[in-house]
Amino acid sequence: MHPAERILLGPGPSPVPHRVLRALSAPTLGHLDPQYLTIMDEVCEMLRKVFQTKNALTFPVSGTGMAGMECVAVNLIEPGDEVIVCVNGVFGTRMKDVMERCGATVHALETTWGDVFTLEQISAAFAAHPKSKLIGIVHAETSTGAHQPLEGLAAIVQAHGALLAVDAVTSLGGHELRVDDWGIDAIYSGTQKCLSCPPGLSPVSFGPRALARMDARKTKVQSWYLDVSMLRKYYTGGGGGRVYHHTAPINMTYALHEALTIVLEEGLEARIARHAAMHQRLRAGLEKLGLGYIPKRSLHSLNCIHIPAGADDATVRRRLLEEYGIEIGSGLGPMAGKAWRIGLMGHGSTVRNVDLVLAALRTILGR
């Protein structure tokens, strides 16, 4: 097995620093070893800093970003609950599917892929469905590159006694994201996007209103593996100390520890500013090549552009991979064959990578 050193500029995974890969190879401890518990506590503390929250219940779910989505859904929804899900891309569509599988009646608030939702649209959705107990929304819709503003949303949601659940898989560690200031009740992310860690863990955080909702459940959480009432005893030591639930992915926890250390060494603000600057640099270069963006409000971590007339989608991506070792993403769902997605996430968001992908595209497209 000899995997190549690719330059990962797709929708994830992002490039992983050697420091993080080395952390993966440290000796495996037992999951109840005091040394390991210290490492886990430090991971949770660093996650609170990166999420900008004081939520005690902040921890990495064992599994990728989708496990975080399922974890938030199964713990906060009971069969028969009405919920609103904002659908403007693949991940909103998945959230709707996941919540329906929890037995929810989902009211989908839809807009054109590539667009984002306004506070007025969300207010109107609550007015139409006042019994909704939760709203799910994607902060960074990786399928379209659209950046959803979240400020001001919590006031509307709380006025209806509902919870605000956010998908921050492609924004955590790369975009401004203030869980407490923005009144987010439940949030999940992934390790392999702007945190630049391999895929395998899903950081989540639950606020006090979400905890109260879980504590008031009349039915058992459908998923044994993702039941937070049991998981919290291991991750926070609450309710009688640390007890075995499942074997935490020890070495992945080391990797996340190192990845979060790198985030905090750089400084969250500096890291977010770097993602903004690299996005601007790429955008300026793409515009010179005549390549335009699909979303009006683009993410910094994911650039979704129109495939220009005359260019063959698969050929261009194959040449980028074979000749330059660069991976970019294709369009998903209705955007298949129409869009390219260039990720500038975490360790991959650098001047070198931006200039390299621009030079490679210029050559391949013959511009």
The residues that touch ligand PLP, with contacts defined as CB under 6 A, are 12, 64-66, 91, 138, 140, 142, 167, 169-170, 190, 199
Closer by beta carbon to ligand PLP, 142 or else 196: 142
Cα separation, 192 vs 169, in Å, equals 9
CB of 130 to ligand PLP, least distance (A): 28
Closer by beta carbon to ligand PLP, 65 or else 207: 65
With contact defined as beta carbons under 8 Å apart, do 9 and 343 qualify?
yes
With contact defined as beta carbons under 8 Å apart, do 198 and 252 qualify?
yes
- Per DSSP, the residues of 239-257 read TTS---SS---HHHHHHHH
Read off the tokens for 259: 């990845």
Closer by beta carbon to ligand PLP, 68 or else 207: 68
CB of 327 to ligand PLP, least distance (A): 15
Closer by beta carbon to ligand PLP, 96 or else 160: 96
- The one-letter code for the residue type at 39 is I
Taking CB positions, which residue lies at the least distance from ligand PLP?
65
CB of 64 to ligand PLP, least distance (A): 3
Among 66, 61, 68, 41, residue whose Cα is nearest residue 248:
61
CB of 330 to ligand PLP, least distance (A): 14
CB of 271 to ligand PLP, least distance (A): 18
CB of 340 to ligand PLP, least distance (A): 16
- The one-letter code for the residue type at 272 is I
Closer by beta carbon to ligand PLP, 345 or else 360: 345
Cα separation, 21 vs 367, in Å, equals 38
Closer by beta carbon to ligand PLP, 31 or else 175: 175
Cα separation, 332 vs 326, in Å, equals 19
